[in-house]
Amino acid sequence: MPKLLEVEDLKMNFYTYEGIVQALDRINLNVREGEILGLVGETGCGKSVTALSILRLIRPPGRIEKGKVIFRMKDRLDESKQGMNLLDQDEVFMQKVRGNEISMIFQEPSAALNPVYSIRDQVSESFLLHREKELCQKALKRIEEDIKKETFFLKKAILKMERGIYLKMIENPSSFFLKFLSFIPGVRRYNRRVLEEAKIESIEILRILGISHPEEVVMRYPHELSGGMQQRVVIAMALACNPTLLIADEPTSNLDVTIQAQILDLVRKLRQEFGSSILFITHDLGVVAEMCERVVVMYAGHIAEVAPVRSLFQKPLHPYTQGLLKSVPRPGRKDRLQSIKGSVPNLISPPSGCRFHPRCPSVMTRCSGAKPSLKEIEKNRLVACYLYHQETEKNDT
């Protein structure tokens, strides 16, 4: 499968008061077209930071030090079709990418919603921002229908004028003519038909997302909805622009299991329907097993292992993955859990070499020296561990 997104040798730091947090170091991963790629790891291992780096949403004191984020777009933004490095683009370009091409769903739905606007306003806004042209076309179609139906000549003339405006809008939505119109009383609200279309679309998408009585729900405000419903609204906003890549950062971690089941089921259906690729971030190995085709395992800002989901659970290679799988309770099993000793290190002074070495049961002398590189040792299986190969990462220069 062709690669949609490639992250190469990404390194990023946070320059905090206590010291430099080396949050990501040489992250390499790719998302293939149409797949759900899982990104798992424990708290603080850099999952969210990876997602934010891809979208260039890292704020100071954070800084991306080096690396590439190559993205192949569906749109005409990318003429070469070769993919472009998002890290080289300016903010204006990135704003088009965010939303139009890559959407993100966050862990905390209430943080993604504005408390003072109704659900309708917020979902419509996403549609207006990213699909205005499509909405204009729909509105135009409706005008044509109205013209056909209308018998009174004066009204017909007004409708025809309206048609003219909409044709202009489709041609060039930011033209001077339209800006001029918005100052004239009477025609100022020329775009009301587009707003109307956005409203219809919003209700429709919420219905697809399994919200009953969406007409009534859209009138409410975020705090009047439960967590599960809020998360659906956030998903609706993310899907409104039909993204090529959807990044879901722990979308169900704060929800109850029965609601989580609804949302996971939904995401699976949406993938089939909309054909988006998904980067699914979670710390729950159960969710990974259910949702993903391939998995990237992260540990303390490094990538430990990449594998197809079945082989990962059948035969985990990296000692960290092995430990993680042994420490989850499983249905029907009462034998003692095996835990990993110690805890996740502080990334201000991360362990040298393989960052897992202070906790690793198979640690060798060389492990604390240089970092093992992430190497493909079987088809589709990459691992960064000296038990499987001897290649070290070249030093930074």
Ligand X SMILES: Nc1ncnc2c1ncn2[C@@H]1O[C@H](COP(=O)(O)OP(=O)(O)O)[C@@H](O)[C@H]1O
Residue 42 as a binder of another protein (CB under 8 A): the answer is: yes
CA gap 68, 49 in Å, rounded: 15
Identity at 166, one-letter amino acid code: Y
Q: At closest approach, how far in Å is the CB of 395 from ligand SF4?
A: 17
CA gap 210, 262 in Å, rounded: 9
Choose the contact partner of 387 out of another protein, Mg ion, ligand SF4, none; CB within 5 to 8 A by kind: ligand SF4
List Cα–Cα distances, 2 to 35, 73, 185, 188, 260, in angstroms: 10, 12, 52, 47, 31
The DSSP output letter for 105 is: E
Q: Are 110 and 224 in contact (CB under 8 A)?
A: no
Q: At closest approach, how far in Å is the CB of 86 from another protein?
A: 30
Q: At closest approach, how far in Å is the CB of 137 from another protein?
A: 35
**Per-residue contact flags (x/-) with ligand X for residues 318 to 357, judged by CB under 6 A:** -----------------------------x----------
Nearest 5°: the CA angle 395, 396, 397 is 115
Any residues with CB less than 8 A from the CB of 85 and at least 6 apart, and which?
Answer: 68, 69, 70
Q: Are 47 and 41 in contact (CB under 8 A)?
A: yes
Q: SS3 for 387?
A: coil
Residue 16 as a binder of another protein (CB under 8 A): the answer is: no
Residue 267 as a binder of another protein (CB under 8 A): the answer is: no
Tokens representing 5 are: 């997104």
Q: How far apart are the first and last CA of the chain?
A: 34
Strands 36-40 and 294-299, by their bridges, are parallel
Choose the contact partner of 14 out of ligand X, ligand SF4, another protein, none; CB within 5 to 8 A by kind: ligand X
Choose the contact partner of 49 out of ligand X, another protein, ligand SF4, none; CB within 5 to 8 A by kind: ligand X
Phi, psi angles (nearest 5°) of residue 241? -100, 10
Q: At closest approach, how far in Å is the CB of 138 from ligand X?
A: 39
Interface with ligand SF4 (CB under 6 A): 318-319, 354, 356-357, 360, 362-364, 367, 372, 385-387
**Per-residue contact flags (x/-) with Mg ion for residues 11 to 50, judged by CB under 5 A:** -------------------------------------x--
Q: What is the edge-to-edge ordering of all strands in the sheet holding 381-383? A: 102-105, 245-249, 277-282, 36-40, 294-299, 302-308, 381-383, 375-378
Choose the contact partner of 251 out of ligand X, ligand SF4, Mg ion, none; CB within 5 to 8 A by kind: none
Q: Which residue has the tokens 């710390």?
A: 283
Q: At closest approach, how far in Å is the CB of 270 from ligand SF4?
A: 30
**Per-residue contact flags (x/-) with another protein for residues 289 to 308, judged by CB under 8 A:** xx------------------
Residue 27 as a binder of another protein (CB under 8 A): the answer is: no
* The only residue of 4, 14, 83, 190 in contact with ligand X, by rule CB under 6 A: 14
* The only residue of 248, 324, 354, 360 in contact with another protein, by rule CB under 8 A: 324
Alpha carbons within 13 A on the beta-carbon side of 289: 10
Of the candidate spans 116-124, 178-186, 256-264, 273-281, the one that interacts with another protein by CB under 8 A turns out to be: 256-264
Total residues binding Mg ion (CB under 5 A): 1
Residue 248 as a binder of ligand X (CB under 6 A): the answer is: no
Q: Which is nearer to another protein, 301 or 323 (CB)?
A: 323
Please give the residue ranges that form the binding site for ligand X (CB under 6 A): 14, 16, 21, 23, 41, 43-49, 62, 347
Please give the residue ranges that form the binding site for Mg ion (CB under 5 A): 48
